Structure 1
Amino acid sequence: MPLIELIRPTASVAVLTLNNPERLNALSFALVEELHDALSAVEYDYSCRVLVLTGAGRGFCAGLDLKDEQRIAPTAIGMSPPAASMRTQEYIASLVPRLQRLPQTVIAAVNGPAFGGGLALAAASDIRIAADSATFGAQTIKIGISGCDIGISYTLPRIIGGGRATELITTARVFDAAEAERIGFVTRLVPADDLLDSALELAETLCAHSPFALEMTKQVLIANADAASLDQAIALENRTQILAGTGGEFTEAVTAFAERRAPSWVD
């Protein structure tokens, strides 16, 4: 049985499901390898504009699979122990920048426990919605290593602020969906049975925008999270607006508005 399921409910939307429900979709090396392959398939599928990331069964992702018999990444086989350990860590952690570099907007539909690496995958997504029964936690400090893992020391403070992120990472406490919404980690809570439909509805809302505008909006938001100044952020915005305005999508949007119809985008 594949550990990753990738389906296309519509021409513009893909749903990527972590598919090892017996292990709460924990990150075994086999699952991570299939996830890398699936992200590559999505990245170069130019008809896909939104990716929904979710988990099978009652869990989103329980973090690293500590019962996985494979101890090193496929890319580290044959290397000496220190180098193999570093290559293994890099292999898992690289999932986070891969999600952020995707041209598609990524919606995390958190259906259950999102711990450790699962929290990191959700934090790396562009938008997060959750079942009202979902739970969250940064857990790695509890297994004798740093609580800062798989990008969480970078992504989480930018979503919820440094103070809250520090408390959650250092205590490793589990927080529920209501708290996740209150602190701004997720933007919407829905009943578990409605989660995927709600994610797909949101995806279709995003797909109503022009393809280039949606992709550029993601790029500017991520780039300007690290802008050195307001002027630098505005400079990137200005260049992107002029670039976008030279294409036909701006003209089509204005024409459609004047004609009181929905715009027709060309992928």
Structure 2
Amino acid sequence: MGYENILFEIKAGIAKLTLNRPDKLNSFTQAMHREVQDALAKVREDKSVRVFVLTGSGRGFCAGQDLSDRAVEPGAQGVDLGESVEKYYAPLVLALRELPMPVICAVNGVAAGAGANLALACDIVVAAKSACFIEAFCKLGLIPDTGGTWILPRLVGRARATGLAMLGEKLTADRAEQWGMIWKCVPDELLMTDVMAMAEHFAVAPTKGMAFTKKALQLSYGNSLQDQLKLEGEMMRELGYSHDYREGVDAFIHKRTPHFKGE
């Protein structure tokens, strides 16, 4: 599949996807959704990939849905937005959450609407100081989709999530870091340097352990403590038999650099 709306590459264990409609602040069209879906399928199929990086081109990360792609005029027949969620946005969030590897989002500019919640669905979010997050749905009479109603209260609590969702005010990257909504905020000129250094770290890390950590944290939201302890035991049992655990212990004992296979 040839890509016209995204940039995508796999190199040295790192898959990097750049939303590439800078003149439209990388807002989503159906065509871009299909390209992203195709790229994510390639990531899942390629066993060499050990970390996934998502970012945007130009001055914005993603402005959410391109409203002109499914425009509706006042008084005209509406469009089925539920279909858009079910066909595109929900599968996109689930695909990112289910990737068996760390997912890093580099927020290089404004992240609005679905773009904000897409970023927050990633495992680790690093934002440029000039970036901001806007839950713009309320200005259109909508709700925060793309997992926003689930993700936001878990990141910042009910009170802040409600304020963000109902007021649609801009939240700076600095404040997002202070609230614990993202991992960290960095100077604009250091964003991709920091993110790619992190990606290179994960590209040689024990990927299966990272994948299990990601899954365990996600399942903890619906588990009792007893269920979570049982899950931890099951995961530790499987990881204890892995090559990477044996390699990590041997490297620690002999004070050498470990060489993880990610299996």
Same fold (TM over 0.5): yes
The equivalent of 2:7 in structure 1 is: 5
CA contact (8 A) 2:70 2:79 kept: no
CA contact (8 A) 2:113 2:144 kept: no
Indicate yes or no: 2:213 matched with 1:217.
yes
CA contact (8 A) 1:3 1:30 kept: yes
Shift of 1:84: 5.7
Which runs of at least 4 in structure 1 moved beyond 6 Å after TM superposition?
none
Shift of 1:88: 2.5
Cα distance in 1 for partners of 2:153, 2:127 equals 19
Cα distance in 1 for partners of 2:83, 2:110 equals 27
The equivalent of 2:177 in structure 1 is: 181
Counterpart selection for 1:232 from 227, 236, 243: 227
The equivalent of 1:139 in structure 2 is: 136
TM score, norm. by length of structure 2? 0.91
* Structure 2, unaligned runs of 5 or more: none
TM score, norm. by length of structure 1? 0.90
CA contact (8 A) 2:55 2:61 kept: yes
CA contact (8 A) 1:96 1:150 kept: yes
CA contact (8 A) 1:4 1:38 kept: no
Aligned AA (2:176): A
Identical-residue share of aligned pairs (%): 37
Identify if the C-alpha distance between structure 1 residues 264 and 102 changes in structure 2 by more than 3 Å, giving closer, same or farther: same
The equivalent of 2:194 in structure 1 is: 198
* Structure 1, unaligned runs of 5 or more: 72-80
Shift of 1:70: 7.7
Counterpart selection for 2:89 from 45, 69, 93: 93
Indicate yes or no: 2:106 matched with 1:109.
yes
The equivalent of 1:149 in structure 2 is: 145
Moved more, 125-134 or 40-49: 40-49
Aligned AA (2:227): Q
The equivalent of 1:57 in structure 2 is: 58
Cα distance in 2 for partners of 1:83, 1:112 equals 29
Cα distance in 2 for partners of 1:234, 1:69 equals 47
Indicate yes or no: 2:20 matched with 1:19.
yes
CA contact (8 A) 1:136 1:175 kept: yes
The equivalent of 1:244 in structure 2 is: 239
Number of equivalent positions: 255
Once the two structures are superposed, the pairs formed by residues 17-96 of structure 1 within 5 Å of their partners are: 17-68=18-69, 85-94=81-90, 95-96=92-93
Shift of 1:198: 0.7
Cα distance in 2 for partners of 1:69, 1:116 equals 16
CA contact (8 A) 1:43 1:104 kept: no
Aligned AA (1:211): T
Moved more, 91-100 or 125-134: 91-100
Give the root-mean-square deviation of aligned CA atoms. Answer: 1.9
